[in-house]
Structures are given as structure tokens and as C-alpha cells.
């Protein structure tokens, strides 16, 4: 990985999300994203051997627009890609292999979440997938009759170099990266004053901390029992629902009695 200690939140996004392609395939697009948004001020970079280049500096690696770079798979030989900003901060890198051979392994380029199921596909250049063997490092995991292998409930220990083979061909190896899923959206429990006339009319959606640092009044106000007016309203509703039944029952009784 390019980043040494703490990786910045910006990451390289790869579409389609694969690490291996056939030479002669069309394009793979690369962009820098920060929390799902295009990361301003970050550029996609590549290294092949010793030289580092930005997109638009090589025939196979072009700037599609300000946010996206494309790798032209008809001529490219791949490389290692990452995002970098002007102070030299780097994202994680993704290695893209462009094979001139007959078999590739389709494996996600982006880190997968722990707990997810990851499908590996052993894909021949010509024709449909056939019985394939799957490996992590040199260890044979098993075979999939239709060229497919599913890693169920992926854990950190599933990280490693994967490859596949058929009886006659072998794919390159690519690294599966596993990450913890992002924490659920921040759920800060904030007691906001209920919009009742007894409170100050100018209450903002994000209450600024009071100078005294005392946030208790708003918290206690919403924990107080409902006001009497609410109970009266509920009683009224109950009456509205049950009164018709009550009245009609009395009326029926009266009618019965008067007939007798």
C-alpha cells in the first residue's frame, strides 16, 4: 500500500470494479472519491516500473473530464493506481492487470466489507466460463463448475492473493482487500426543544451551545410528561369514537322498552 500510517479518507474508485482485464477490452474508469463525492484537488496517478505519471501523460491513460481518468484497455498494460493531492498525500493503491492471455479472474478492485459474500469469476477470453479451480496463494480452495467461486462471510483472514485456472489456462494473481464496513450514520441523540409557544420563538435547527455550557433545560423539557392539553385531546378523541356506540345503545334500549 502507498500510504504509510494513516490513510486519508479519499480513495480511488474503479469502474468496472475489477483488477484483471483482457487486453482488447474497452475502458476502465478511475476517479478519486471522498465519501461518495468527487474529491476536489485529488488526481489519479499511476506507476509502471519506476516512473510515476498522471493521466493525460500516456497514450493509454487519458483524462475523460476533470473527475475521471480512463485506462484504454485496447493498448494499456495496466499498472498501479492511486489518488494524490498537491501536498503529496496518497490514497490506497489498486493494481490493475491487463492480460494478453486466455484467462482472467474477476475479483473486486476495491476493498470488500467484512461479512459480505464475494463472487470470484474465472473468465476465459473466448466463450463462456467452464469448470475452474480457485486458489489463494498456492492453496487450492476448490472448484466451481461454472467458473464461479463465492467467498461467504468474508473476514480479514480472507485477504490474500487469488487466482484461478482451468485445465489448460491460468489467470494472473490479484489481492483481495478486506475492510471493516463503515460505521452506521452518526446518530447523535440531541434533545431539541419541542416547538411550543412557551419556548423562545427563535430556535435554530442546530442549537448552538449556550455560553454557560448548560444544556439541561432543553433535555428535561422533552422528557417532561405530556401537557394536560394533550390528555384532554385524547379523552375527547375517545369520546368521539365511543359516544356514538353508547348513544345508539341507549336509543335501542329506549325503543325496546317503549314497545313493551
Ligand X SMILES: *[C@@H]1O[C@H](CO)[C@@H](O)[C@H](O)[C@H]1NC(C)=O
Q: Would you tell me which residues interact with ligand X (CB under 6 A)?
A: 8, 41, 64-68, 85-87, 89, 102, 116-117, 125-126, 152
Name the minimum Å distance from CB 248 to ligand X.
54
- Nearer residue to ligand X within complex by CB, 20 or 166: 166
Phi, psi of 157 (to 5 degrees): -70, -10
- Nearer residue to ligand X within complex by CB, 30 or 94: 30
Q: Strand, coil or helix: what is 189?
A: coil
Name the minimum Å distance from CB 177 to ligand X.
17
Alpha-carbon distance 209 to 79, whole Å? 51
- The answer to whether residues 94 and 13 touch, using CB atoms and an 8 Å cutoff, is no
- Nearer residue to ligand X within complex by CB, 102 or 165: 102
- Nearer residue to ligand X within complex by CB, 86 or 202: 86
First to last CA, the chain: 97
- Nearer residue to ligand X within complex by CB, 128 or 208: 128
Name the minimum Å distance from CB 97 to ligand X.
19
Name the minimum Å distance from CB 86 to ligand X.
4
Name the minimum Å distance from CB 151 to ligand X.
10
22-26 own/partner pairs: CB under 8 Å, 24+ apart: 22/73, 22/98, 22/99, 22/100, 22/104, 22/125, 23/73, 23/74, 23/76, 23/77, 23/98, 23/99, 23/100, 24/73, 24/74, 25/73, 25/74, 25/98, 26/73, 26/74
Amino acid at each position: 500500500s502507498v500510504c504509510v500510517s494513516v490513510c486519508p479518507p479519499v480513495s480511488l474508485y474503479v469502474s468496472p470494479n475489477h483488477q484483471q482485464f483482457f487486453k482488447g477490452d474497452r475502458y476502465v474508469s478511475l476517479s478519486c472519491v471522498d465519501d461518495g463525492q468527487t474529491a476536489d484537488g485529488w488526481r489519479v496517478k499511476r506507476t509502471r516500473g519506476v516512473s510515476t505519471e498522471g493521466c493525460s501523460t500516456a497514450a493509454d491513460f487519458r483524462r475523460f473530464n476533470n473527475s475521471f481518468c480512463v485506462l484504454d484497455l485496447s493498448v494499456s498494460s495496466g499498472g498501479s493506481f492511486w489518488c494524490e493531492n498537491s501536498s503529496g498525500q496518497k490514497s490506497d493503491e489498486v493494481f490493475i492487470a491487463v492480460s494478453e492471455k486466455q484467462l482472467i479472474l474477476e475479483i473486486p478492485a476495491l476493498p470488500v466489507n467484512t461479512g459480505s459474500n464475494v463472487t470470484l469469476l474465472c473468465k476465459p477470453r473466448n466463450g463462456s466460463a467452464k469448470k475452474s479451480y480457485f486458489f489463494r496463494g498456492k492453496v487450492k480452495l476448490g472448484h466451481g463448475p461454472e467458473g464461479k467461486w463465492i467467498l461467504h462471510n468474508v473476514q480479514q483472514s480472507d485477504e490474500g492473493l487469488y487466482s484461478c485456472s482451468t485445465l489448460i489456462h491460468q489467470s494472473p494473481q490479484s489481492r483481495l482487500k478486506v475492510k471493516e464496513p463503515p460505521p452506521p450514520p452518526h446518530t447523535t441523540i440531541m434533545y431539541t426543544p419541542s416547538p411550543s409557544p412557551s419556548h423562545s420563538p427563535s430556535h435554530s435547527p442546530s442549537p448552538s451551545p449556550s455560553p454557560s455550557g448548560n444544556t439541561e433545560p432543553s433535555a428535561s423539557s422533552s422528557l417532561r410528561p405530556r401537557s394536560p392539553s394533550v390528555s384532554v385531546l385524547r379523552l375527547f378523541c375517545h369520546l368521539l369514537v365511543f359516544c356514538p356506540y353508547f348513544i345508539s345503545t341507549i336509543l335501542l334500549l329506549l325503543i325496546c322498552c317503549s314497545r313493551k
